[in-house]
Every structure is written in structure tokens, then in C-alpha cells.
Structure 1
Amino acid sequence: MANTTSPLTDTEIRQAKAKEKEYNLGDGKGLLLRIKPNGSKLWLFNYQRPYTKKRAVLSIGSYPEVSLKQARSARLKYRELLSQDIDPKDYKLEQEAKAKEAITNTFEHVANLWLESKRDTITENHFNKIKRSLEKDIFPGLGKQPVSKLKATSFITLLRPIEAKGSLETVKRLSQRINNVMNYAVNYGLIEANPAQAIGEVFKKPKKKHYPTLKPEQLPELMKALNTASIQLQTRCLIEWQLHTITRPSEASGAEWSEIDFKQKTWTIPAERMKKRIEHVIPLSNQAMKLLEIMKSISGKRKHIFSSTKNPRKPMSSSTANVALKRMGFDGVLVSHGLRALASTTLNEQGFDSDVIEACLAHIDKNEVRKAYNRATYLGRRTKVMTWWSDHIECASQGNLSLTGSQGLSLIK
């Protein structure tokens, strides 16, 4: 007749005394209680490993911290794993590793991984801007939380006070960045699903705002203000440079002498300084070249065309033009980025090809075939557009002593 093990009782376990050598009390089906000479009692699961059929012992925990009922529940779980040819010891190690990984993979850690993955696709300024916003608004509240523990309500609760302040654009941007981080966590295999996928839907939508700009007929007003403004010469040159080249503020202020081809009359902005990380070649008009001549006497021996007065090794701040425009009386009416809109509106009204205008603005065509074609063929057509635009600016400067040359030019149709 086969030997059977009688199930243990709580009384039997409590009364079990320590002996000179450790010994085991069996509860059956692999569950053992080991009594050590020091009196401590440890639950063990004795089993045969799948495939190798070697005996193994797995610790369940100490008594009374782990009760008899809990030990039996663990035994049942381990026997179910064995029925599926899963080694309970391997399973336990895997679960412990996942728990440790969950603690390590905090939102801040994963956000930094996601941000690093974007470094080669966004400009340094944009990279730093995203990093600052996360450090300011997200990390203090949720940065130390494991991504596996975060829910939609975690993020919504954090963003509600920002919404209450009326900073709806900030809420929109943060919602997008949170969503990107959590999508990264899904793709990285840290979580099964993104709980933040639709958090943006619960907040008020910001009204679309365009950069303040002038109407085409107000261009002479701007040129007159530039002529009479009490600003430094290099600041005026920077504003006119941005106006003539139709570039973004950071692209204009960060221009380097090494990017200029004086023979070909082109300015090549490298991909790392462009918003869409694609190199942009700009044909330079005679007026733009004249601005470079003026700046050569100021910063010709430096790296940047528009170098900072405080630190000549660095470029002027991209906000310099905005500060100057405010002092000139354009506060709330025009910002430096709005100069692009002014150019775009004027060129479209004059009937220039919209695709060529978009190429001048360095806007990216979503159609890959068209994008490759446009980049290859539009340089010549853009040269004509940029020439017309600079002549138009100079014409608008009549009587205002434009920095770029003669007065009284007729409008080129």
C-alpha cells in the first residue's frame, strides 16, 4: 500500500519544536515545512523539473508570515505551472525580474529614452524645449512612478490644474508628449497598452492661434519703423535677413559664415538646424548678399554671422528680433515668425506657384515622390521668387533708406 502524507494543521505547525538538526514536516503534493535548529520555519516546494526530471526545491516563504493556507495556494499555482511544463523556479525568477524592471522603468526614465530616440529627428532647440516642459510639468508629479502603474486618471489629474489656469495649448502639448512616451513604452515591451492614448479628449480644446503678422500693404510701415528704430545695427540686419530669406527665427539667428557659398550665392542650412531635419538650400538675392557685406565688418572673423554681443562665440538669441519688434511698437501685432506669413501671403497674392512658395518656406510635402521631385527642381524657380521678394521689400523701403541698397524700385509683376 502506498504511503500517504497527512495534511498539516495550524496547531501542529505552531507546536513543532526545533531540534539539533533541521527536519521537514510534509503537507503532501510537494509542500514541506522545514524546521531549523534556531526555531525558524520555512515553507518549501519540492518538485521534479520539467524535461530534465531532476529534483528541485523552491522557497515559498517563512511561517507565520506565510500561512498554511497561503503556502497551499502557492503549491497549487506551482503544480498548475508544472502541468504546462513550466518550471516554477524559472517562473518566479521571471516575475521578480519583471517587478524589478517595473520599478526601474519609471515615467521619467522612459521619457528620457523616448526623447533620446528623437534627438536625430528634431532640432536641438526643440529637444531642449520638450525636455524642459517634461521636467517642469510632468516629472515632479509622476516622474518616479513606474509606467506599468500609471493610468489615464494619473495624467488627467496632473494636467487639470494647468487646464484650470487657461493654459490649454500647454495641456495639448503635454498630452501629446505623454502619449508619445507611453507609446514608446508599449513598443519597448514595458506595458501592454497605452492608457494615455485618448487623454487629450477630456480637456478643453485651445483656439487655433496664428503668429501675429502684418498685411502685405503694411510692409512699408515695417521698413520705416526699422529705419527709425533705436536698435543695434546687427539686430536690424538680423530682422532684414530673416525677412529676405523667409527663414524661421532660430534658423536666421543661428546662421554661420561656413554655410554661405558666396560664389553660388546660396545659404545651406544643415539638417540638424532645420525643424524637419532636412537640409535647406536658400538662393540669396543681391539684397541678402548686401546684408552679409554689412555683417562681415561686424562678425566676419567669428563663427556666427549674427553673434551674441555678450558671448561672441554664440549666436544671437532667436528672441532678439521679437524684443526689437516690441520696442518698435509691434507688440501683439507682429512677431519675427510672422515675417514668414507676411512673405507667404504676399507671394500667393502675386500669383506665384504655391508649391514653390512652400519650398521657399521649407515646408515638407507629405507625398514622398513629390517631395523628392520638388527638392530636385525648384531651386531655379525659387531663385526667381526670392529675387522678386527682395526687390519688393526694397521697393517698400522707398524713402526709408533700406540697408540693402537703392530706392525707387518698381514692383515686379
Structure 2
Amino acid sequence: MPKLVTPLNDTQVKKAKPKEKEYLLSDGKGLALRVKPNGSKMWLFTYSKPYTKKRAQISFGMYSDVTLSDARTSRDEARALLAKNIDPKEHKEAFANHKAAEAKSTFEAVVKEWIALKEPKVSARYAFNLRRGFELHLFPSLGKVPISKLSAQQAIAALKPLAAADKLDILGRICRRVNEVMEFAINTGRIQTNNLSGISKAFDSAKHESMASFTPKELPKLINIVNSANIKLMTRCLFEWQLHTMVRPGEAAGAAWNEIDFENKLWNIPIERMKKRKPHTVPLSPQALAILEYLKPISSHREFIFPADKDPRAHASRETLGAALRRMGLIGKQTAHGLRALASTTLNEQGFDSDVIEAALAHVDKNKVRAAYNRTDYLERRRKMMCWWSDHIEEASKGNYSVTGNTHLKAI
């Protein structure tokens, strides 16, 4: 028959004096107070481990920090775990490890890990924009929050300033990226569910105008508007360059002199500057080469063809041309990216091979099987097409002059 133990009371615990050797004061059901010769008092729980039945001990803390009542609560919780064949000591260690891992898995830490994983697959510019979006809009308020504790309400509150500023396009991109991060956190065992999956529904959607463009018949009108606008010379050059080469705004603005092969009349854009992480070669028409010749005295001593105004060592912003078009009153009518749509629509209407057009636009075939077999870049066919496109621009530019000053080009 088990020995009956009289439970302790607060007075006994408080007045327990140290002896020459440490001793135990039992409270019953495995709980005891260990009193050491130096006067320290610690709560201990002795139990039999599940399955092996080996004796084990776990500490509930010092009496100076843990009252008798608290120690009994901890004992009862430990006994409840044992009833489920859970070792309370192992459970405590696992919980401590979980809390430590949680402290390391802050939202900022997981985002940076996710970006590091994506970085080799995207352009340097894209990776920079990824980091910048989180640094500006989310890290200040959410960076130190454990990702497992992050709530939709917190994320929505952090993003409200973007909505208030009507920056809905940026807001939409960040919401999508946040959800990618949360999926990454699930796959790496940080969280079980994505609490932020619906945050975009708390805001209005952006009206997408990234491809807004004039129709092919309106090309002369567009050229006339730009020609009449009060814009900087370098912006005018950038407009002509992007229109003739059919590249993306960021690729045009970041063009470097060492990317130009004058001998073979080619512009070789390296992989790190391309959206699809694939190098792209642009055949240069006589009109495109004329733009470069015009710019040589202005910027050939620098790295970039289109230097930034504030820092000539850097290149112009990818937003430069888009901002200029907006100032011309073309919001919703023509964007910088839409110049590619204008070129594509025109070339398709003229009967050019759609594969050649797609290659000129550096689009990646979404059909992976087809893409595996179709590895040609149609360079020579693109060269002929690009020359036709520049001649078409020239024809549409009658009455306007190119920045080159060569009136016979009439390339705007």
C-alpha cells in the first residue's frame, strides 16, 4: 500500500532550513522540495518514464520564483501528460526548442531565406525589387514577428498606407509575394497553414494598364505627341531606343555600352538583366545604330548608354519613360511597356511569323515540350523584321525629326 504523504503548506516551505546535507520535503504525487545546504530550494517532480518505466526527474524551478501552488499546477500538468504516455521532460525540451526555432523564424528571416532561394533564378533588378518591397513596406512593422504568429490583421495594417496612397499595383505585387513566402514557410516546416492567404481581398484591385498602347494606325499620332512634348533629350533618346528595339523598359534603361556589338550590329543583353533569366540578342537596325552614334559623344565615356540624371554612374530608372508618358497625358492610353504591345500587334497584322515576333520580345514559350524542341532564336529572320519595323517607324514619323539630327532617317 502506497505510503500516505501529508501535503506541504506554505509555512513549511518558507521555514524549511538548510542542513548539512540536502534533503527533500515531499508534497505527494511525485512533487517534492529539495533543500540544499546553501539554502536554495528547488521544486522537483519524480516520475516513471512512459514505456521504459525508468525513474526520471524534472525541475519546476526555484521556490523563490515558483510558489507551492504553481508547482502543484505544473505537477498536475505533468501527470496529465504521463496519462497520455508523453514524457513531461521531453515535452518541455521540445517546447523550448520550438520556441527557440520560432524566435529564429521571424518574418524577416524567412523572407530573406526565400529571396536567397529565388535569386539565382531571377534578374538582379527583380531580386533588388523583391527585397526593396519588403524592406519599405513590411519589415518595419512585421520583420521581427515570428512567422507562426503573424496574423492577417497585422499584414493588412502594414499595407494600408499603400492603399491610402492609391499604389494598388505595388500593393497587389506585395500581397502575391507575401503568399509565396507563406507557402515557402509551410514547405520548410515553419507553419502549418497560411494565415495571410486572403489579405489581398481587403483592398481594391489595381486597374491593370501595364500594356495600354496606341493602335498600329495611331503610331504617327504617338510619335507626334512625344516629338511635341517638353522632355529631356535623354528621355527622348530612350523612347526612340525602346520603340526600335522592342525591349522591356528596364532592359532599355539599363543598356550598357559594353553590351553593344557594333561590328555585328547586335545588342547582347546578359542573363542577369533579363526578366526570364535567359540572355537576349537584339539585331540593331540602321535607325537604332544611328541613335547610338548620336549618343556616343554624350555618354560613351560612361558605363551606361542612358545615364541617370542625379548619378551619371548609374543608369536611368526603368520608370523614366513611363513617367514621361504620364506627364504627356497618356495615362491609360500608352505606357512604356505598351510599346512592345504596339510593335507586336503591328508585326502580327503585317503577317510576320508569330514565333519570330515572340523571340524578338524575349518571351518564353509556356509549352515546355514545344520549347525544348524549338531552341532557335531566329536571329537573321528577326534582323529583317527589326529593319522593317524601324522603316515603319520612320514612315510614321514624317514631319518629325530624330534626335540624331539626320532628317533623312525621320525616326522621330
Partner Cα separation in structure 2 for residue 171 and residue 249 of structure 1: 21
Aligned length in residues: 405
Aligned partner of 1:34: which letter?
A: R
Aligned partner of 2:67: which letter?
A: E
| Structure 1 range deviating more: 265-274 or 164-173 | 164-173
Q: Does 1:145 align with 2:121?
A: no
Q: C-alpha offsets along residues 86-114 of structure 1, whole Å, 9 cap, x if unaligned?
A: 5x544433321211221232212222222
- Offset, 1:13: 4.7
Aligned counterpart, 2:3? 4
Q: Does 1:236 align with 2:243?
A: no
Indicate if the aligned counterparts of 1:31 and 1:72 stay in contact, CA closer than 8 A.
yes
Structure 1 pair 7–209 and aligned structure 2 pair: CA distance change class (3 A): farther
Indicate if the aligned counterparts of 1:223 and 1:402 stay in contact, CA closer than 8 A.
no
Q: Does 1:385 align with 2:370?
A: no
Aligned counterpart, 1:300? 300
Q: C-alpha offsets along residues 141-200 of structure 1, whole Å, 9 cap, x if unaligned?
A: 322221111233433454456556655434422321221221222122211222222333
Aligned partner of 1:273: which letter?
A: R
Aligned counterpart, 1:174? 174
Aligned counterpart, 2:396? 396
Name the SS of the counterpart of 1:42 in structure 2: strand
Name the SS of the counterpart of 1:282 in structure 2: strand
Structure 1 pair 308–151 and aligned structure 2 pair: CA distance change class (3 A): closer
Aligned counterpart, 2:208? 208
Partner Cα separation in structure 2 for residue 168 and residue 226 of structure 1: 27
| CA RMSD between the two structures | 3.3
Partner Cα separation in structure 1 for residue 399 and residue 276 of structure 2: 39
Aligned counterpart, 1:336? 336
Structure 1 pair 122–13 and aligned structure 2 pair: CA distance change class (3 A): farther
Indicate if the aligned counterparts of 1:148 and 1:191 stay in contact, CA closer than 8 A.
yes
Partner Cα separation in structure 2 for residue 292 and residue 374 of structure 1: 32
Aligned counterpart, 2:75? 72
Aligned counterpart, 2:17? 18
Aligned counterpart, 1:245? 245
**Which runs of structure 2 are paired with 1:26-175 in the superposition (5 Å)?**
26-27=26-27, 30-37=30-37, 40-47=40-47, 56-63=56-63, 64-65=66-67, 67=69, 68-77=71-80, 79-80=82-83, 83=85, 88-159=88-159, 163=163, 167-175=167-175
Partner Cα separation in structure 2 for residue 354 and residue 125 of structure 1: 28
Structure 1 gap ranges (5+):
none
Aligned partner of 2:134: which letter?
A: L
Q: C-alpha offsets along residues 98-139 of structure 1, whole Å, 9 cap, x if unaligned?
A: 112212322122222222322223333333333333233323
Give the TM-score normalised by structure 2. Answer: 0.84
- Offset, 1:385: 2.0
Q: C-alpha offsets along residues 368-388 of structure 1, whole Å, 9 cap, x if unaligned?
A: 232344442533332232121
Partner Cα separation in structure 2 for residue 329 and residue 11 of structure 1: 81
Aligned partner of 2:396: which letter?
A: A
Partner Cα separation in structure 2 for residue 301 and residue 125 of structure 1: 24
Partner Cα separation in structure 2 for residue 150 and residue 388 of structure 1: 55
Aligned counterpart, 1:358? 358
Partner Cα separation in structure 1 for residue 204 and residue 331 of structure 2: 28
Partner Cα separation in structure 2 for residue 311 and residue 12 of structure 1: 77
Name the SS of the counterpart of 1:45 in structure 2: strand
| Structure 1 range deviating more: 374-383 or 155-164 | 155-164
Partner Cα separation in structure 1 for residue 8 and residue 44 of structure 2: 16
Q: C-alpha offsets along residues 1-54 of structure 1, whole Å, 9 cap, x if unaligned?
A: x76352524367546521323310234564322124465532113356789998
Indicate if the aligned counterparts of 1:31 and 1:75 stay in contact, CA closer than 8 A.
no
Partner Cα separation in structure 1 for residue 231 and residue 102 of structure 2: 55
Indicate if the aligned counterparts of 1:5 and 1:27 stay in contact, CA closer than 8 A.
no
Aligned partner of 1:292: which letter?
A: L
| Structure 1 range deviating more: 153-162 or 170-179 | 153-162
Partner Cα separation in structure 1 for residue 43 and residue 292 of structure 2: 82
* Percent of matched pairs sharing the same residue: 47
Q: C-alpha offsets along residues 286-334 of structure 1, whole Å, 9 cap, x if unaligned?
A: 2212222222232223222223354332222333334544565646643
| Structure 1 range deviating more: 123-132 or 103-112 | 123-132
Structure 1 pair 69–349 and aligned structure 2 pair: CA distance change class (3 A): same
Partner Cα separation in structure 2 for residue 228 and residue 203 of structure 1: 39
**Which runs of structure 2 are paired with 1:254-333 in the superposition (5 Å)?**
254-325=254-325, 330=330, 333=333
Indicate if the aligned counterparts of 1:30 and 1:75 stay in contact, CA closer than 8 A.
no
Aligned partner of 2:127: which letter?
A: F
Partner Cα separation in structure 1 for residue 323 and residue 174 of structure 2: 27
Partner Cα separation in structure 1 for residue 57 and residue 145 of structure 2: 35
- Offset, 1:347: 1.6
Name the SS of the counterpart of 1:352 in structure 2: coil
Partner Cα separation in structure 1 for residue 226 and residue 402 of structure 2: 9
Partner Cα separation in structure 2 for residue 400 and residue 131 of structure 1: 42
Q: C-alpha offsets along residues 348-370 of structure 1, whole Å, 9 cap, x if unaligned?
A: 22232333322222222211232
| Structure 1 range deviating more: 192-201 or 246-255 | 192-201
Indicate if the aligned counterparts of 1:394 and 1:407 stay in contact, CA closer than 8 A.
no
Give the TM-score normalised by structure 1. Answer: 0.84
Name the SS of the counterpart of 2:121 in structure 1: coil
